[in-house]
Amino acid sequence: MAGLAQTNSALELSHSEMQFQSVEVTLFGRFMMQDKREFPCQVQSMSSGSATLITPHIGAVGERIIAYVDHVGRLEGKILRVFHDGFAMTVNATTHKRDKLAAKITWIANRHELSLPEDRRHERIAPTQNATRIKLEDNRSYDVRIIDLSLSGAAIEMDVRPAIGTLMWLGNMRGRVVRHFDEGVAIEFAILQTHDTLRDYIAQ
């Protein structure tokens, strides 16, 4: 019953409460330093006013940062604190943008609390030509077979099992591994695709 109570509590968080409450998340993206260099990052926690990033490169307190985060979008701010494996940054935004960001964080927090799988609301299709290649962030690539495909993700049959959270590209569609199953992995796209995007990819 305690676990159920905690879940209900998370679901009852309002947007206004979420604006200032830092929530643990697992989101991937990239960020740019003041000198224009870019690095990958993982957002470990965030509110509509701040975010904590795990990164391979740590800047200086006060340095301006622009981050592009999956499911969240563009974040701009300055480094508040630095750690051995990342930093905390402010999030500069108008009141309207903070409200929108709070709504996104509410959805992300509730989804993680309930351990929901990748979004299954979109119709999934099985391409006629399902043999393809996927590429990982370190440029390794593998021959795979698409089991099914939707606007939000894909099920991929492959011999290796990249870790949960691994970034990969299916054509120009960037996603991350969200689940393992017997035949392969499920990936969730960083950006919701369109029917035209999928039609063009299937036609290749």
Q: What is the pLDDT of residues 69-128, one digit of tens each?
A: 887 888 999 999 998 889 999 999 888 888 888 888 877 776 654 444 444 445 666 666
Over range 165-169, report the average pLDDT: 88
Over range 53-58, report the average pLDDT: 87
Give me the architecture of the 2-113 domain, per CATH.
Beta Barrel (2.40)
Q: What is the pLDDT of residues 21-41, one digit of tens each?
A: 788 887 888 899 999 988 888
pLDDT of residue 166: 87
Report how far apart, in Å, the C-alpha atoms of 180 and of each of 5, 156, 157, 183, 184 are: 29, 10, 10, 8, 6
pLDDT of residue 204: 60
Instruction: Say yes or no: do domains 2-113 and 131-203 share a fold.
Output: yes
Q: What is the mean pLDDT of the chain?
A: 79
Characterise 145 by phi-psi region: left (phi > 0), alpha (psi -120 to 50), beta (else): beta
* Bridge partners for 180 per DSSP: 185
Over range 127-151, report the average pLDDT: 87
Do the Cβ atoms of 69 and 43 come closer than 8 Å? yes
* Whether pLDDT at 176 is above 50: yes
Over range 178-192, report the average pLDDT: 84
pLDDT of residue 98: 86
pLDDT of residue 177: 87
User: Is domain 131-203 given the CATH code 1.10.760 in the classification?
Assistant: no
* Whether pLDDT at 15 is above 50: no
pLDDT band at 135 (very low <50, low <70, confident <90, very high): very high
* Whether pLDDT at 11 is above 50: no
pLDDT band at 202 (very low <50, low <70, confident <90, very high): low
* Whether pLDDT at 168 is above 70: yes
pLDDT of residue 136: 92
Using only C-alpha atoms, the chain has a radius of gyration, in whole angstroms, of 18
Sketch the domain layout of the chain as residue ranges: 2-113, 131-203
